[in-house]
């Protein structure tokens, strides 16, 4: 009996040590891979990652104003750097978990050609992009159009999503013929989910480095440290790659 209760106590404390919880703010473009990674993470470590998805700029404002997030997976590298400088992120915890890829996507099959020449034809109603001022994928889209000398021609057809998810949703519902979104949103297991797409070559825009960091609120949370370590592991990296991201 005594031994049994000792075992019970050991189990309880072991469970207490391992079953931590971590609040994670995740950039909207990383929604699908992160859901998969969080499920693997729970299975492999017993820790639970509670995920919130949204725009990086909005998360910044919330974190600075005391939001309970412990880990931040941003859509860029400047926001985590700024948070670290301002004392809201744990110094030295930052690293690039994914390099984003931009894609010109249409919900219609055969609408977008493999070189993106559809942009030159002008035969489309709207182009959905994320707000270039705040979203790295939006900025990369504008940069790409500039490089193609098409910005002035295409700009009047811009509609802006509040974040990259809404940008895709405008295209998905057919309200915009075309949209510049993250490849990860329309890509799974190494291939396109549907519609047609031009994967924008990397030389058209600055690389989209997406950085993660442990936030001040997660400094002493073992689950937060474990999650960042897990993101660097082979299993998570394979998932990230399967959604079309590059790795650094």
Among 128, 165, 210, 221, binds other proteins (CB under 8 A): 128
- Pick the closest to residue 100 from 63, 128, 126, 138 (CA basis): 138
Structure tokens at 179: 């949209």
Our finding on whether 233 is near other proteins (CB under 8 A) is no
Our finding on whether 188 is near other proteins (CB under 8 A) is no
Our finding on whether 122 is near other proteins (CB under 8 A) is no
Structure tokens at 28: 């909207």
Our finding on whether 58 is near other proteins (CB under 8 A) is yes
Among 122, 174, 201, 233, binds other proteins (CB under 8 A): 174
The answer to the question of whether 199 is labelled as a binding residue is no
Distance between first and last Cα of the chain? 54
Instruction: Report yes or no: 160 and 181 within 8 Å, Cβ to Cβ.
Output: no
Our finding on whether 161 is near other proteins (CB under 8 A) is yes
Instruction: Report yes or no: 237 and 177 within 8 Å, Cβ to Cβ.
Output: no
Our finding on whether 195 is near other proteins (CB under 8 A) is no
Among 40, 113, 143, 162, binds other proteins (CB under 8 A): 162
Among 55, 63, 74, 182, binds other proteins (CB under 8 A): 55
R_g (Cα) of the chain, nearest Å: 20
Pick between residue 60 and residue 209 the one whose CB is nearest to other proteins. Answer: 60
Instruction: Report yes or no: 82 and 172 within 8 Å, Cβ to Cβ.
Output: no
* Minimum distance from residue 208 beta carbon to other proteins (Å): 18
Our finding on whether 81 is near other proteins (CB under 8 A) is no
Binding-residue total with other proteins (CB under 8 A): 22
* Minimum distance from residue 221 beta carbon to other proteins (Å): 26
* Minimum distance from residue 203 beta carbon to other proteins (Å): 27
Q: Which stretch binds other proteins (CB under 8 A): 15-23, 120-128, 221-229, 233-241?
A: 120-128
Residues making contact with other proteins (CB under 8 A): 55, 57-58, 60-61, 125-126, 128, 131, 133-134, 158-162, 166, 170, 173-176
Per the annotation, binding residues for molybdate are: 56, 164
């Amino acid at each position: 009996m005594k031994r049994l209760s000792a075992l019970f106590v050991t189990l309880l404390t072991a469970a207490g040590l391992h079953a931590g919880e971590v609040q994670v703010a995740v950039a909207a473009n990383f929604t699908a891979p992160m859901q998969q990674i969080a499920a693997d993470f729970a299975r492999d470590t017993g820790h639970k990652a509670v995920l919130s998805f949204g725009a990086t700029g909005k998360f910044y404002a919330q974190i600075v104003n005391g939001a309970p997030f412990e880990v931040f997976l941003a859509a860029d590298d400047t926001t985590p750097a700024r948070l670290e400088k301002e004392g809201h992120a744990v110094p030295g915890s930052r690293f690039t978990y994914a390099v984003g890829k931009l894609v010109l996507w249409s919900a219609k099959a055969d609408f977008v050609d493999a070189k993106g020449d559809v942009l030159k034809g002008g035969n489309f109603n709207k182009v959905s992009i994320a707000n270039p001022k705040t979203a790295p994928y939006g900025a990369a889209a504008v940069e790409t159009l500039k490089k193609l000398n098409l910005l002035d021609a295409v700009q009047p057809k811009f509609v802006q999503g509040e974040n990259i998810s809404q940008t895709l949703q405008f295209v998905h519902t057919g309200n915009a013929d075309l949209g510049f979104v993250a490849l990860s949103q329309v890509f799974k297991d190494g291939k396109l989910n549907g519609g047609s797409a031009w994967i924008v070559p990397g030389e058209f825009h600055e690389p989209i480095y997406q950085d993660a960091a442990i936030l001040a609120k997660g400094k002493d949370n073992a689950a937060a440290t474990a999650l960042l370590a897990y993101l660097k592991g082979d299993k998570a990296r394979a998932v990230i790659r399967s959604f079309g991201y590059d790795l650094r």
